[in-house]
Structure 1
Amino acid sequence: MDIFQLFAAQLAILIAPEEEGQKAAAVEEATQILVVLEDAFTKCSKGRKFFGGDRISYLDIALGSFLAWGRVIQKMYGLSLLDECKTPKLLQWAQHFCADAAVQDVLPETDKLMEFAEAFVAAKLGKPASG
């Protein structure tokens, strides 16, 4: 699995047409990738809060950058890619990551990122932006 596949799946969720079933396929692909990450987190963290232990590491930062887009997807489409059933440990990791003081000031604001996403999606689909 390549981490860029997660970015591609998130992008596909944003721009895929609902009526053609492409969005559902993109959600399924993202879910499969996150299940693999759940397994990797379980092995790497050894029961601790972050991939490398008790403190945020480079890997946490790299993967944490995808969380902002996950929030946008959740707000735009009501889809939560991390959930208690399929990725419970990754969900806890995300909560710990986003709650960390070092992250709170640098994680993009969901509403601002959503404005960008809406404009991007509108341009990609050839429609006027809603905002």
Structure 2
Amino acid sequence: MGKSDIKLIGSWASAFTTRVRIAFNIKNVEYEHLEEVLGKKSDLLLQSNPVHKKFPVLLHDGKPLPESLIIVQYIDEVWSSGPSILPADPLDRALERFWAAYVDEKFFPSLKLVRVTQGEQLAAAVEAVGKSFEVLDGAFHQCSKGNAFFGGERVGYLDIAFGCTLAWLRALEKIVGVKLFDEVKHPALAKWMDSFCSDPAVDGLIPETDRFIEFLKLLPGAPPRH
């Protein structure tokens, strides 16, 4: 199957697009990345995802598939000859899906809230992020079973789901001038973050912090910072 048969509509700044790109790297699959322009949704995107009108969207033999974690699971099943992304054990697989849902439904929204709040609301948002890290620290010990990654000895499904939020974490700490993640309190997670970002499947895909900050400045909703 050629590169032209596999296309990914997305953006360099999108954590959700990055998830899919890491999955392709793990499977060593070549694909064509179709970069979307901020604020301008292409006709191809609107045609490919008419329900949510959001990226990423995978085009496989011309057939569209939206939603990052659904795409990651699809990649894992279709290119089964490569390293597995989801665990083989049904319970472990279900647990990683549970925690990935926690990332998308609880952690990531609380992290994004830091960008658009100030004063007492900002303090509450920072506290919520801290509590989420406590929960995810427990998830790491549960899922990793003493290994370097949530997925065990190599980057897996939950690593991808959680790890792609790190650009937001690093940028927001600089923007608001508040420490959101405590390395001393969560040394295992701190070590995991370093291992994840330096992994060959991930290296170069997590946006550089200063560049990502400039991207965030273009998004609406943030209060003025001094």
TM interval, shorter chain, is 0.7 to 0.9
Deviation of residue 81 (structure 1)? 2.5
| % identical aligned pairs | 40
Asked whether 1:68 is paired with 2:167, we answer yes
Q: Which has the higher strand share?
A: 2
| TM-score between the two structures when normalised by the length of structure 1 | 0.84
1:126 and 1:57, CA in 2 relative to 1: closer, same or farther beyond 3 A? closer
Whole-Å Cα distance in 1 between the matches of residues 222 and 173 of structure 2?
20
Deviations 1:19-52 (A, max 9, x none): 3x11111011011011010001011111111001
Pick one of 153, 163, 167 that aligns with 1:54.
153
Q: Which residue number in structure 1 is paired with residue 12 of structure 2?
A: none
Asked whether 1:10 is paired with 2:111, we answer yes
| TM-score between the two structures when normalised by the length of structure 2 | 0.51
Deviations 1:58-113 (A, max 9, x none): 21011101111001012212333222333221111111111212211211121221
Deviation of residue 15 (structure 1)? 0.9
Asked whether 1:111 is paired with 2:183, we answer no
Q: Is the 8 A contact 2:144 2:151 kept in 1?
A: yes
Whole-Å Cα distance in 1 between the matches of residues 153 and 135 of structure 2?
21
Q: Is the 8 A contact 1:82 1:88 kept in 2?
A: no
Q: Which residue number in structure 2 is paired with residue 99 of structure 1?
A: 198
Pick one of 111, 124, 131 that aligns with 2:221.
124
Pick one of 123, 126, 143 that aligns with 1:44.
143
State the secondary structure of the residue aligned to 1:103: coil
**What residue ranges of structure 1 are gaps of 5+ in the alignment?**
none
1:75 and 1:126, CA in 2 relative to 1: closer, same or farther beyond 3 A? closer
State the one-letter code of the partner of 2:137: E
Pick one of 129, 142, 148 that aligns with 1:30.
129
Q: Is the 8 A contact 2:167 2:206 kept in 1?
A: yes
Q: Which has the higher helix share?
A: 1
Quote the RMSD (CA, aligned, Å). Answer: 2.1
Q: Is the 8 A contact 1:84 1:91 kept in 2?
A: yes
Q: Is the 8 A contact 2:117 2:222 kept in 1?
A: no
Tell which structure's C-alpha radius of gyration is larger: 2
**What residue ranges of structure 2 are gaps of 5+ in the alignment?**
1-98
Report which stretch shifted further, 72-81 or 107-116: 72-81
State the secondary structure of the residue aligned to 1:108: coil
